[in-house]
A and B are shown apart, each in its own frame.
Chain A
Amino acid sequence: MLCECGKNEATVRETVIINGKSIEKNLCEQCAQDLGLAPTTHHPALHELVKQFVHEPGVTEAQPLKAEEIACSTCSLTYTRFKQTGLLGCGLCYKSFEEQVGPLIERAHEGATHHVGKIPRSALERSRHGGPDRLEILLGTTEERLRRMGELRRQLDEAVEAEQFERAATLRDELHRLDQLKPGQVLPDEFSSTHGEE
Protein backbone atom coordinates (compact mmCIF):
# COMPACT_ATOMS: atom_id res chain seq x y z
CA MET A 1 0.00 0.00 0.00
CA LEU A 2 1.26 3.46 -0.86
CA CYS A 3 1.55 6.28 1.64
CA GLU A 4 -0.76 9.29 1.38
CA CYS A 5 2.13 11.19 -0.18
CA GLY A 6 1.91 8.73 -3.07
CA LYS A 7 5.67 8.29 -3.21
CA ASN A 8 6.70 5.62 -0.76
CA GLU A 9 5.39 2.31 0.55
CA ALA A 10 3.28 2.82 3.70
CA THR A 11 4.95 1.11 6.63
CA VAL A 12 3.32 2.86 9.56
CA ARG A 13 -0.34 2.49 10.41
CA GLU A 14 -1.64 4.94 12.97
CA THR A 15 -5.09 5.74 14.26
CA VAL A 16 -5.56 9.42 14.84
CA ILE A 17 -8.56 11.08 16.36
CA ILE A 18 -9.74 14.09 14.41
CA ASN A 19 -12.85 15.92 15.66
CA GLY A 20 -13.68 12.92 17.79
CA LYS A 21 -13.55 10.59 14.80
CA SER A 22 -10.84 8.00 14.66
CA ILE A 23 -9.18 7.85 11.28
CA GLU A 24 -6.72 5.24 10.18
CA LYS A 25 -3.69 6.60 8.38
CA ASN A 26 -1.26 4.58 6.32
CA LEU A 27 2.00 6.44 6.04
CA CYS A 28 5.58 6.02 5.02
CA GLU A 29 8.27 6.47 7.64
CA GLN A 30 9.08 10.01 6.47
CA CYS A 31 5.49 11.31 6.51
CA ALA A 32 4.86 9.60 9.84
CA GLN A 33 7.89 11.31 11.28
CA ASP A 34 6.84 14.65 9.87
CA LEU A 35 3.48 14.22 11.58
CA GLY A 36 5.18 13.08 14.76
CA LEU A 37 3.51 9.68 14.45
CA ALA A 38 6.45 7.45 13.66
CA PRO A 39 7.21 4.78 16.19
CA THR A 40 10.32 6.33 17.68
CA THR A 41 12.90 4.70 15.69
CA HIS A 42 15.36 2.41 17.19
CA HIS A 43 18.66 3.50 18.42
CA PRO A 44 20.36 5.56 15.71
CA ALA A 45 22.29 3.03 13.72
CA LEU A 46 25.80 3.15 14.99
CA HIS A 47 27.35 3.39 11.57
CA GLU A 48 25.29 6.54 11.05
CA LEU A 49 26.61 7.92 14.27
CA VAL A 50 30.10 6.99 13.14
CA LYS A 51 29.54 8.65 9.80
CA GLN A 52 28.14 11.80 11.36
CA PHE A 53 31.01 11.95 13.73
CA VAL A 54 33.77 11.26 11.29
CA HIS A 55 32.40 13.62 8.68
CA GLU A 56 31.67 16.41 11.07
CA PRO A 57 33.79 19.42 10.12
CA GLY A 58 36.59 20.01 12.52
CA VAL A 59 36.63 16.50 13.84
CA THR A 60 38.65 14.83 11.15
CA GLU A 61 41.03 17.74 10.90
CA ALA A 62 41.61 17.67 14.61
CA GLN A 63 43.05 14.21 14.29
CA PRO A 64 46.61 14.34 13.07
CA LEU A 65 46.68 10.66 12.14
CA LYS A 66 44.73 9.42 9.19
CA ALA A 67 42.32 7.29 11.14
CA GLU A 68 41.46 5.21 8.07
CA GLU A 69 44.88 3.67 7.95
CA ILE A 70 44.87 2.45 11.51
CA ALA A 71 44.38 -1.25 12.04
CA CYS A 72 44.09 -3.24 15.24
CA SER A 73 47.35 -5.08 15.87
CA THR A 74 45.52 -8.06 17.35
CA CYS A 75 42.67 -8.78 14.94
CA SER A 76 43.78 -6.58 12.02
CA LEU A 77 40.39 -4.86 11.74
CA THR A 78 40.85 -1.52 10.00
CA TYR A 79 39.19 1.66 11.13
CA THR A 80 37.67 1.97 7.68
CA ARG A 81 35.96 -1.39 8.16
CA PHE A 82 34.70 -0.33 11.58
CA LYS A 83 33.19 2.78 10.02
CA GLN A 84 31.28 0.60 7.57
CA THR A 85 29.92 -1.91 10.05
CA GLY A 86 29.92 -0.12 13.41
CA LEU A 87 31.30 -3.29 14.94
CA LEU A 88 34.71 -3.83 16.50
CA GLY A 89 36.78 -6.96 15.98
CA CYS A 90 38.16 -7.83 19.41
CA GLY A 91 38.56 -6.51 22.93
CA LEU A 92 41.87 -4.90 22.07
CA CYS A 93 40.24 -2.83 19.32
CA TYR A 94 39.05 -0.62 22.17
CA LYS A 95 42.73 0.11 22.88
CA SER A 96 43.83 0.30 19.24
CA PHE A 97 41.09 2.77 18.33
CA GLU A 98 40.70 4.40 21.74
CA GLU A 99 41.33 7.88 20.36
CA GLN A 100 38.68 7.51 17.65
CA VAL A 101 36.15 5.33 19.42
CA GLY A 102 36.36 7.07 22.80
CA PRO A 103 34.55 10.27 21.73
CA LEU A 104 32.05 8.20 19.78
CA ILE A 105 31.23 6.13 22.84
CA GLU A 106 30.90 9.29 24.90
CA ARG A 107 28.37 10.61 22.45
CA ALA A 108 26.38 7.38 22.28
CA HIS A 109 26.20 7.18 26.07
CA GLU A 110 25.19 10.74 26.91
CA GLY A 111 28.65 11.94 27.82
CA ALA A 112 29.67 8.96 29.93
CA THR A 113 33.33 8.07 29.59
CA HIS A 114 33.89 5.42 32.23
CA HIS A 115 32.20 2.24 33.34
CA VAL A 116 30.54 2.06 36.71
CA GLY A 117 28.71 -1.01 37.92
CA LYS A 118 29.46 -4.67 37.89
CA ILE A 119 33.01 -5.95 37.78
CA PRO A 120 33.47 -9.64 36.88
CA ARG A 121 33.33 -11.34 40.27
CA SER A 122 35.51 -14.39 39.73
CA ALA A 123 38.19 -12.30 38.02
CA LEU A 124 38.10 -9.91 40.96
CA GLU A 125 38.43 -12.80 43.36
CA ARG A 126 41.38 -14.20 41.42
CA SER A 127 43.01 -10.75 41.32
CA ARG A 128 42.98 -10.56 45.10
CA HIS A 129 45.71 -13.15 45.14
CA GLY A 130 47.64 -11.57 42.31
CA GLY A 131 48.58 -8.34 44.08
CA PRO A 132 48.02 -4.70 43.14
CA ASP A 133 49.12 -5.12 39.52
CA ARG A 134 46.53 -7.78 38.79
CA LEU A 135 43.84 -5.73 40.46
CA GLU A 136 44.77 -2.69 38.40
CA ILE A 137 44.01 -4.62 35.20
CA LEU A 138 40.41 -4.84 36.36
CA LEU A 139 39.97 -1.63 38.29
CA GLY A 140 42.22 0.73 36.38
CA THR A 141 44.83 3.11 37.70
CA THR A 142 44.27 5.22 40.78
CA GLU A 143 43.59 8.16 38.50
CA GLU A 144 40.90 6.27 36.59
CA ARG A 145 39.35 5.08 39.81
CA LEU A 146 39.22 8.61 41.17
CA ARG A 147 37.67 9.88 37.96
CA ARG A 148 34.99 7.21 38.13
CA MET A 149 34.22 8.10 41.73
CA GLY A 150 34.07 11.76 40.77
CA GLU A 151 31.48 10.91 38.13
CA LEU A 152 29.41 8.97 40.65
CA ARG A 153 29.59 11.86 43.11
CA ARG A 154 28.32 14.20 40.42
CA GLN A 155 25.39 11.85 39.71
CA LEU A 156 24.75 11.59 43.43
CA ASP A 157 24.61 15.37 43.82
CA GLU A 158 22.20 15.59 40.89
CA ALA A 159 19.98 12.91 42.39
CA VAL A 160 19.89 14.68 45.77
CA GLU A 161 19.18 17.99 44.07
CA ALA A 162 16.27 16.42 42.18
CA GLU A 163 15.07 14.70 45.37
CA GLN A 164 15.49 11.27 43.78
CA PHE A 165 16.37 9.66 47.06
CA GLU A 166 16.16 6.05 45.99
CA ARG A 167 18.57 6.72 43.19
CA ALA A 168 20.82 8.65 45.54
CA ALA A 169 20.92 5.69 47.90
CA THR A 170 21.91 3.34 45.09
CA LEU A 171 24.66 5.70 44.00
CA ARG A 172 25.92 6.07 47.55
CA ASP A 173 26.15 2.27 47.86
CA GLU A 174 28.10 2.10 44.63
CA LEU A 175 30.49 4.85 45.77
CA HIS A 176 31.05 3.04 49.01
CA ARG A 177 31.74 -0.18 47.13
CA LEU A 178 34.23 1.48 44.79
CA ASP A 179 35.95 3.20 47.65
CA GLN A 180 36.68 -0.18 49.17
CA LEU A 181 38.08 -1.55 45.93
CA LYS A 182 41.44 0.13 46.25
CA PRO A 183 44.28 -1.63 44.53
CA GLY A 184 46.70 -3.04 47.05
CA GLN A 185 44.01 -3.39 49.65
CA VAL A 186 42.59 -6.67 50.88
CA LEU A 187 39.00 -6.80 49.77
CA PRO A 188 36.29 -7.40 52.31
CA ASP A 189 34.70 -10.81 51.91
CA GLU A 190 31.40 -9.45 50.70
CA PHE A 191 32.94 -8.82 47.29
CA SER A 192 33.49 -12.46 46.64
CA SER A 193 29.80 -13.23 46.84
CA THR A 194 27.58 -10.23 46.36
CA HIS A 195 27.73 -6.58 45.59
CA GLY A 196 25.39 -3.68 45.66
CA GLU A 197 21.97 -4.16 47.11
CA GLU A 198 20.89 -7.33 45.36
Chain B
Amino acid sequence: MVSSPPPNEDGAKPAYGATTEWLRNEGAACDVVLSSRVRLARNLAAHRFVPQSDRTQRQQVVSLSQQAISEIGSCVWIDIHRTNDLEKQLFVERQLMSRQHARGKLAGGIGGPDEPRGLAVSLPDERVAIMVNEEDHLRIQCMRSGLALSEALAAADTLDDELEARLEFAFSPRFGYLTACPTNVGTGARFSVMLHLPGLKLLGDIDKVKRAAEDMSLAVRGFYGEGSKAIGDFYQVSNQTTLGKTEQVLLQELERDIIPRVMDYERHARRTLFEKRKSTTQDRIMRSVGLAKYVQLISTEEAMEHLSMIRLGAAIGMLNGSSMQAVNKLFLLVQPGHLQHRAGHALTQHERRVERAAVLREYLRDVG
Protein backbone atom coordinates (compact mmCIF):
# COMPACT_ATOMS: atom_id res chain seq x y z
CA MET B 1 0.00 0.00 0.00
CA VAL B 2 1.14 3.51 -0.73
CA SER B 3 2.18 5.32 2.39
CA SER B 4 1.04 8.82 3.17
CA PRO B 5 1.95 11.34 5.83
CA PRO B 6 0.60 10.43 9.25
CA PRO B 7 -2.87 11.82 9.66
CA ASN B 8 -3.05 14.98 11.68
CA GLU B 9 -5.03 18.17 12.02
CA ASP B 10 -3.30 19.75 9.05
CA GLY B 11 -3.29 16.56 7.01
CA ALA B 12 -4.17 16.41 3.36
CA LYS B 13 -7.81 16.88 2.49
CA PRO B 14 -9.85 15.83 -0.50
CA ALA B 15 -9.72 18.36 -3.31
CA TYR B 16 -13.51 18.20 -3.75
CA GLY B 17 -12.90 18.27 -7.48
CA ALA B 18 -15.44 17.65 -10.18
CA THR B 19 -14.89 13.93 -10.19
CA THR B 20 -14.46 10.98 -7.88
CA GLU B 21 -14.08 7.22 -8.28
CA TRP B 22 -17.74 6.48 -8.93
CA LEU B 23 -18.02 9.19 -11.56
CA ARG B 24 -14.94 8.31 -13.58
CA ASN B 25 -17.23 6.52 -16.00
CA GLU B 26 -14.74 3.79 -16.69
CA GLY B 27 -14.71 0.05 -16.40
CA ALA B 28 -17.01 -2.71 -17.51
CA ALA B 29 -20.59 -1.86 -18.47
CA CYS B 30 -20.18 1.80 -17.54
CA ASP B 31 -22.97 2.81 -19.94
CA VAL B 32 -25.37 1.33 -17.38
CA VAL B 33 -23.34 0.64 -14.24
CA LEU B 34 -21.94 3.77 -12.66
CA SER B 35 -20.11 2.15 -9.78
CA SER B 36 -19.63 -0.92 -7.60
CA ARG B 37 -19.20 -0.78 -3.86
CA VAL B 38 -18.41 -3.23 -1.07
CA ARG B 39 -18.97 -2.25 2.53
CA LEU B 40 -17.88 -4.35 5.50
CA ALA B 41 -19.29 -3.80 9.00
CA ARG B 42 -16.84 -4.57 11.81
CA ASN B 43 -16.80 -4.04 15.56
CA LEU B 44 -13.97 -4.28 18.07
CA ALA B 45 -14.17 -7.21 20.46
CA ALA B 46 -14.66 -6.36 24.13
CA HIS B 47 -15.94 -2.88 23.34
CA ARG B 48 -19.57 -1.87 23.53
CA PHE B 49 -21.24 -1.17 20.22
CA VAL B 50 -21.65 2.50 19.38
CA PRO B 51 -25.34 2.87 20.36
CA GLN B 52 -24.70 1.57 23.88
CA SER B 53 -21.36 3.27 24.56
CA ASP B 54 -20.47 6.50 26.33
CA ARG B 55 -18.08 9.19 25.21
CA THR B 56 -15.01 7.63 26.83
CA GLN B 57 -15.71 4.27 25.25
CA ARG B 58 -16.22 5.86 21.86
CA GLN B 59 -12.96 7.75 22.27
CA GLN B 60 -11.16 4.44 22.90
CA VAL B 61 -12.56 3.02 19.70
CA VAL B 62 -11.56 6.13 17.76
CA SER B 63 -8.01 6.06 19.20
CA LEU B 64 -7.48 2.37 18.47
CA SER B 65 -8.94 2.63 14.97
CA GLN B 66 -7.06 5.81 14.13
CA GLN B 67 -3.80 4.19 15.26
CA ALA B 68 -4.42 1.09 13.13
CA ILE B 69 -5.46 3.13 10.09
CA SER B 70 -2.41 5.36 10.46
CA GLU B 71 -0.09 2.32 10.62
CA ILE B 72 -1.57 0.91 7.43
CA GLY B 73 -0.94 4.31 5.94
CA SER B 74 -3.21 4.38 2.91
CA CYS B 75 -5.86 6.75 4.24
CA VAL B 76 -6.03 10.25 5.62
CA TRP B 77 -7.86 10.71 8.93
CA ILE B 78 -10.59 13.29 9.43
CA ASP B 79 -12.24 14.08 12.79
CA ILE B 80 -15.84 14.34 11.67
CA HIS B 81 -17.09 15.84 14.93
CA ARG B 82 -14.69 18.75 14.34
CA THR B 83 -15.54 19.17 10.68
CA ASN B 84 -17.82 22.00 9.58
CA ASP B 85 -21.24 21.31 8.10
CA LEU B 86 -20.29 22.21 4.54
CA GLU B 87 -17.36 19.81 4.52
CA LYS B 88 -19.52 17.05 5.96
CA GLN B 89 -22.02 17.67 3.20
CA LEU B 90 -19.23 17.39 0.62
CA PHE B 91 -18.24 13.98 2.01
CA VAL B 92 -21.84 12.81 1.84
CA GLU B 93 -22.30 14.06 -1.71
CA ARG B 94 -19.09 12.30 -2.74
CA GLN B 95 -20.50 9.14 -1.12
CA LEU B 96 -17.60 8.86 1.28
CA MET B 97 -19.88 8.66 4.26
CA SER B 98 -23.54 8.30 5.15
CA ARG B 99 -25.91 11.12 5.98
CA GLN B 100 -26.31 9.46 9.35
CA HIS B 101 -22.58 9.83 10.01
CA ALA B 102 -22.74 13.49 9.03
CA ARG B 103 -25.67 14.09 11.39
CA GLY B 104 -23.89 12.25 14.15
CA LYS B 105 -26.96 10.62 15.56
CA LEU B 106 -28.05 7.14 14.76
CA ALA B 107 -31.28 6.71 12.85
CA GLY B 108 -34.19 8.20 14.74
CA GLY B 109 -31.92 10.14 17.04
CA ILE B 110 -31.03 7.16 19.23
CA GLY B 111 -27.55 6.61 20.44
CA GLY B 112 -27.06 9.64 22.63
CA PRO B 113 -24.01 11.85 22.29
CA ASP B 114 -22.58 11.96 18.85
CA GLU B 115 -18.85 12.18 19.28
CA PRO B 116 -16.15 11.41 18.76
CA ARG B 117 -16.38 9.92 15.32
CA GLY B 118 -14.09 9.82 12.32
CA LEU B 119 -13.60 9.16 8.67
CA ALA B 120 -10.55 7.85 6.85
CA VAL B 121 -10.30 8.38 3.11
CA SER B 122 -7.71 7.26 0.58
CA LEU B 123 -6.50 10.21 -1.45
CA PRO B 124 -6.57 11.32 -4.12
CA ASP B 125 -8.55 8.38 -5.54
CA GLU B 126 -11.27 8.28 -2.82
CA ARG B 127 -11.64 4.57 -3.48
CA VAL B 128 -11.51 3.69 0.20
CA ALA B 129 -13.48 5.26 3.01
CA ILE B 130 -13.68 3.99 6.58
CA MET B 131 -16.35 5.41 8.85
CA VAL B 132 -15.46 5.08 12.52
CA ASN B 133 -18.26 5.07 15.11
CA GLU B 134 -21.18 5.17 12.75
CA GLU B 135 -23.69 2.42 13.61
CA ASP B 136 -20.76 0.01 13.87
CA HIS B 137 -17.24 0.78 15.05
CA LEU B 138 -15.90 0.38 11.53
CA ARG B 139 -17.61 0.56 8.18
CA ILE B 140 -15.04 -0.21 5.50
CA GLN B 141 -16.06 0.92 2.03
CA CYS B 142 -14.27 0.16 -1.22
CA MET B 143 -15.54 1.76 -4.41
CA ARG B 144 -14.80 1.05 -8.07
CA SER B 145 -16.01 2.68 -11.25
CA GLY B 146 -18.18 0.47 -13.48
CA LEU B 147 -19.09 -3.14 -12.77
CA ALA B 148 -16.17 -4.35 -10.67
CA LEU B 149 -17.46 -5.93 -7.48
CA SER B 150 -14.75 -8.61 -7.35
CA GLU B 151 -12.06 -5.98 -7.49
CA ALA B 152 -13.80 -3.93 -4.80
CA LEU B 153 -14.18 -7.04 -2.62
CA ALA B 154 -10.52 -7.97 -3.01
CA ALA B 155 -9.52 -4.45 -1.90
CA ALA B 156 -11.93 -4.49 1.05
CA ASP B 157 -10.78 -7.97 2.05
CA THR B 158 -7.12 -6.94 2.10
CA LEU B 159 -7.83 -3.80 4.09
CA ASP B 160 -9.99 -5.83 6.49
CA ASP B 161 -7.04 -8.22 7.05
CA GLU B 162 -4.66 -5.34 7.63
CA LEU B 163 -7.01 -3.83 10.20
CA GLU B 164 -7.70 -7.17 11.84
CA ALA B 165 -3.96 -7.79 12.26
CA ARG B 166 -4.02 -4.72 14.54
CA LEU B 167 -7.50 -4.84 16.07
CA GLU B 168 -9.49 -7.77 17.42
CA PHE B 169 -12.93 -7.96 15.82
CA ALA B 170 -16.10 -9.18 17.52
CA PHE B 171 -16.85 -12.54 15.93
CA SER B 172 -18.84 -15.62 16.88
CA PRO B 173 -18.80 -19.05 15.21
CA ARG B 174 -22.55 -19.00 14.87
CA PHE B 175 -23.26 -15.42 13.81
CA GLY B 176 -19.95 -14.47 12.22
CA TYR B 177 -18.97 -10.80 12.44
CA LEU B 178 -21.11 -9.26 15.16
CA THR B 179 -22.82 -5.99 14.31
CA ALA B 180 -25.01 -3.54 16.20
CA CYS B 181 -27.95 -4.35 13.95
CA PRO B 182 -28.66 -8.08 13.59
CA THR B 183 -29.56 -7.55 9.92
CA ASN B 184 -25.84 -7.13 9.17
CA VAL B 185 -24.38 -10.14 11.00
CA GLY B 186 -22.54 -12.95 9.30
CA THR B 187 -20.23 -11.62 6.62
CA GLY B 188 -21.15 -8.03 7.52
CA ALA B 189 -20.79 -7.47 3.79
CA ARG B 190 -23.04 -5.25 1.71
CA PHE B 191 -22.45 -5.27 -2.03
CA SER B 192 -24.05 -2.56 -4.08
CA VAL B 193 -24.14 -1.47 -7.66
CA MET B 194 -25.29 1.94 -8.84
CA LEU B 195 -27.26 1.71 -12.05
CA HIS B 196 -28.39 4.40 -14.47
CA LEU B 197 -31.72 3.26 -15.93
CA PRO B 198 -33.26 6.13 -17.94
CA GLY B 199 -34.34 3.80 -20.76
CA LEU B 200 -36.43 1.59 -18.49
CA LYS B 201 -37.78 4.66 -16.76
CA LEU B 202 -38.91 6.24 -20.06
CA LEU B 203 -40.56 3.03 -21.20
CA GLY B 204 -42.23 2.63 -17.82
CA ASP B 205 -40.55 -0.73 -17.30
CA ILE B 206 -38.64 0.05 -14.15
CA ASP B 207 -40.90 -2.33 -12.23
CA LYS B 208 -39.41 -5.23 -14.12
CA VAL B 209 -36.13 -4.49 -12.44
CA LYS B 210 -37.69 -4.09 -9.06
CA ARG B 211 -39.49 -7.39 -9.40
CA ALA B 212 -36.39 -9.19 -10.61
CA ALA B 213 -34.43 -7.72 -7.72
CA GLU B 214 -37.08 -8.62 -5.20
CA ASP B 215 -37.21 -12.19 -6.48
CA MET B 216 -33.57 -12.41 -5.54
CA SER B 217 -34.26 -10.61 -2.25
CA LEU B 218 -32.12 -7.67 -3.19
CA ALA B 219 -32.84 -4.12 -2.09
CA VAL B 220 -33.36 -1.26 -4.54
CA ARG B 221 -32.56 2.20 -3.23
CA GLY B 222 -32.02 5.73 -4.48
CA PHE B 223 -28.95 7.80 -5.29
CA TYR B 224 -27.86 8.41 -1.72
CA GLY B 225 -28.70 5.02 -0.25
CA GLU B 226 -31.27 4.03 2.30
CA GLY B 227 -34.38 6.17 2.29
CA SER B 228 -33.27 8.35 -0.60
CA LYS B 229 -35.19 8.88 -3.82
CA ALA B 230 -34.13 7.51 -7.16
CA ILE B 231 -33.21 10.93 -8.51
CA GLY B 232 -31.73 11.19 -11.97
CA ASP B 233 -32.89 7.64 -12.72
CA PHE B 234 -30.11 6.20 -10.56
CA TYR B 235 -30.87 3.04 -8.65
CA GLN B 236 -28.73 1.25 -6.14
CA VAL B 237 -29.15 -2.51 -5.96
CA SER B 238 -27.70 -4.39 -3.01
CA ASN B 239 -27.94 -7.65 -1.08
CA GLN B 240 -30.26 -7.73 1.92
CA THR B 241 -29.05 -10.85 3.63
CA THR B 242 -25.56 -11.18 5.03
CA LEU B 243 -25.77 -14.46 6.95
CA GLY B 244 -25.57 -18.02 5.66
CA LYS B 245 -23.85 -17.24 2.37
CA THR B 246 -20.19 -16.68 1.68
CA GLU B 247 -18.95 -13.34 0.38
CA GLN B 248 -18.31 -14.94 -3.00
CA VAL B 249 -21.85 -16.29 -3.26
CA LEU B 250 -23.38 -12.94 -2.26
CA LEU B 251 -21.22 -11.24 -4.86
CA GLN B 252 -22.11 -13.71 -7.59
CA GLU B 253 -25.83 -13.38 -6.94
CA LEU B 254 -25.55 -9.69 -7.66
CA GLU B 255 -22.85 -9.45 -10.29
CA ARG B 256 -23.53 -12.54 -12.36
CA ASP B 257 -27.19 -13.30 -11.79
CA ILE B 258 -29.08 -10.06 -11.52
CA ILE B 259 -27.00 -7.20 -12.91
CA PRO B 260 -26.50 -8.69 -16.40
CA ARG B 261 -30.27 -9.13 -16.66
CA VAL B 262 -30.88 -5.52 -15.69
CA MET B 263 -28.22 -4.36 -18.14
CA ASP B 264 -29.89 -6.32 -20.91
CA TYR B 265 -33.28 -4.81 -20.07
CA GLU B 266 -31.83 -1.30 -20.03
CA ARG B 267 -29.85 -1.66 -23.27
CA HIS B 268 -32.86 -3.18 -24.95
CA ALA B 269 -34.98 -0.26 -23.73
CA ARG B 270 -32.43 2.22 -25.09
CA ARG B 271 -32.42 0.48 -28.47
CA THR B 272 -36.20 0.55 -28.57
CA LEU B 273 -36.20 4.25 -27.75
CA PHE B 274 -33.60 4.94 -30.41
CA GLU B 275 -35.07 2.79 -33.16
CA LYS B 276 -38.81 2.82 -32.64
CA ARG B 277 -39.45 6.09 -30.83
CA LYS B 278 -36.64 8.11 -32.25
CA SER B 279 -38.34 11.46 -32.61
CA THR B 280 -40.03 11.31 -29.19
CA THR B 281 -36.80 10.30 -27.51
CA GLN B 282 -34.79 12.88 -29.41
CA ASP B 283 -37.32 15.49 -28.37
CA ARG B 284 -37.00 14.55 -24.68
CA ILE B 285 -33.23 14.64 -24.83
CA MET B 286 -32.95 17.87 -26.82
CA ARG B 287 -35.48 19.61 -24.57
CA SER B 288 -33.22 18.76 -21.65
CA VAL B 289 -30.17 20.04 -23.53
CA GLY B 290 -32.01 23.23 -24.46
CA LEU B 291 -33.21 23.80 -20.96
CA ALA B 292 -29.83 23.15 -19.41
CA LYS B 293 -28.18 25.63 -21.77
CA TYR B 294 -30.48 28.52 -20.98
CA VAL B 295 -31.96 27.87 -17.54
CA GLN B 296 -31.61 30.62 -14.93
CA LEU B 297 -32.95 28.94 -11.79
CA ILE B 298 -33.05 25.21 -11.09
CA SER B 299 -33.43 22.75 -8.17
CA THR B 300 -31.11 19.77 -7.63
CA GLU B 301 -33.81 17.29 -8.47
CA GLU B 302 -34.79 18.95 -11.73
CA ALA B 303 -31.15 19.35 -12.72
CA MET B 304 -30.56 15.64 -12.09
CA GLU B 305 -33.56 14.74 -14.22
CA HIS B 306 -32.26 16.69 -17.21
CA LEU B 307 -28.72 15.48 -16.69
CA SER B 308 -30.06 11.93 -16.77
CA MET B 309 -31.64 12.62 -20.18
CA ILE B 310 -28.41 14.17 -21.47
CA ARG B 311 -26.42 11.18 -20.23
CA LEU B 312 -28.85 8.92 -22.07
CA GLY B 313 -28.39 11.03 -25.20
CA ALA B 314 -24.63 10.68 -24.97
CA ALA B 315 -24.84 6.94 -24.27
CA ILE B 316 -26.97 6.19 -27.34
CA GLY B 317 -24.95 8.49 -29.59
CA MET B 318 -27.52 11.24 -30.04
CA LEU B 319 -25.16 13.77 -28.49
CA ASN B 320 -21.48 14.40 -29.01
CA GLY B 321 -18.80 12.64 -27.00
CA SER B 322 -17.89 15.54 -24.73
CA SER B 323 -21.40 15.43 -23.28
CA MET B 324 -20.74 12.32 -21.21
CA GLN B 325 -17.74 13.83 -19.45
CA ALA B 326 -19.55 17.08 -18.76
CA VAL B 327 -22.61 15.30 -17.42
CA ASN B 328 -20.63 13.03 -15.11
CA LYS B 329 -18.94 16.05 -13.56
CA LEU B 330 -22.26 17.81 -13.20
CA PHE B 331 -23.87 15.01 -11.19
CA LEU B 332 -21.52 16.11 -8.43
CA LEU B 333 -21.25 19.84 -9.16
CA VAL B 334 -24.99 20.54 -9.01
CA GLN B 335 -25.23 19.17 -5.45
CA PRO B 336 -25.80 21.86 -2.77
CA GLY B 337 -22.49 21.32 -0.96
CA HIS B 338 -20.39 21.38 -4.08
CA LEU B 339 -22.09 24.55 -5.32
CA GLN B 340 -21.25 26.30 -2.06
CA HIS B 341 -17.72 24.98 -2.11
CA ARG B 342 -17.32 26.38 -5.60
CA ALA B 343 -18.75 29.73 -4.57
CA GLY B 344 -16.47 29.81 -1.54
CA HIS B 345 -19.26 30.73 0.88
CA ALA B 346 -22.68 29.62 2.09
CA LEU B 347 -25.58 30.13 -0.31
CA THR B 348 -29.30 30.40 0.33
CA GLN B 349 -31.59 28.03 -1.51
CA HIS B 350 -32.41 30.71 -4.07
CA GLU B 351 -28.74 31.56 -4.59
CA ARG B 352 -27.98 27.88 -5.05
CA ARG B 353 -30.59 27.65 -7.79
CA VAL B 354 -29.03 30.60 -9.58
CA GLU B 355 -25.54 29.15 -9.17
CA ARG B 356 -26.67 25.67 -10.26
CA ALA B 357 -28.18 27.07 -13.44
CA ALA B 358 -24.93 28.94 -14.13
CA VAL B 359 -22.88 25.76 -13.69
CA LEU B 360 -25.15 23.86 -16.07
CA ARG B 361 -24.89 26.59 -18.71
CA GLU B 362 -21.12 26.72 -18.37
CA TYR B 363 -20.46 22.98 -18.58
CA LEU B 364 -23.04 22.21 -21.24
CA ARG B 365 -22.15 25.06 -23.57
CA ASP B 366 -20.68 22.75 -26.22
CA VAL B 367 -23.14 19.91 -25.87
CA GLY B 368 -25.34 19.13 -28.79
Please tell me if the beta carbons of B248 and A46 are within 8 angstroms of each other in the complex. no
**A-side interface residues, number (CB < 8 Å):** 65
- The smallest C-beta distance from B278 to any residue of chain A, in angstroms, reads 14
Number of residue pairs spanning A and B whose beta carbons lie under 8 angstroms apart: 200
For chain B, the bracket of interface size reads 35 or more
Q: A15 CA to B246 CA in the complex, in Å?
A: 38
- The smallest C-beta distance from A27 to any residue of chain B, in angstroms, reads 12
Closest to A12 in B: B229
Which chain A positions have C-beta within 8 A of B210? Answer: 39-40
Instruction: Given the known inter-chain contacts A22-B202, A101-B182, A109-B241, please indicate yes or no for A171 contacting B157, CB distance below 8 A.
Output: no
- The smallest C-beta distance from B310 to any residue of chain A, in angstroms, reads 17
Interface string of A98-120 (1 = CB under 8 A from B): 00010011001111111111111
Instruction: Given the known inter-chain contacts A115-B173, A116-B244, please indicate yes or no for A87 contacting B203, CB distance below 8 A.
Output: no
Please tell me if the beta carbons of B173 and A108 are within 8 angstroms of each other in the complex. no
Binds A, one of B17-25, B140-148, B212-220: B212-220
Q: A17 CA to B201 CA in the complex, in Å?
A: 10
Which chain B positions have C-beta within 8 A of A118? Answer: 157, 160, 176-177, 187, 246-247
Closest to B251 in A: A170
Which chain B positions have C-beta within 8 A of A114? Answer: 173-175, 243-244
Q: A84 CA to B221 CA in the complex, in Å?
A: 24
Please tell me if the beta carbons of B157 and A87 are within 8 angstroms of each other in the complex. no
Which chain B positions have C-beta within 8 A of A101? Answer: 182
Interface on B for A, CB 8 Å cutoff?
A: 43, 45-49, 51-52, 106, 108, 110-111, 135, 153-154, 157, 160-161, 164-165, 168-178, 180-183, 185-187, 189, 201-204, 207, 210, 213-214, 217, 219-222, 226-227, 229-230, 235, 240-249, 252-253, 256-257
Interface on A for B, CB 8 Å cutoff?
A: 11-12, 15-17, 22, 36-37, 39-40, 42-43, 46, 75, 77, 84-91, 93-95, 101, 104-105, 108-123, 136-141, 144-145, 151, 155, 164, 166-167, 170-171, 173-174, 196-198
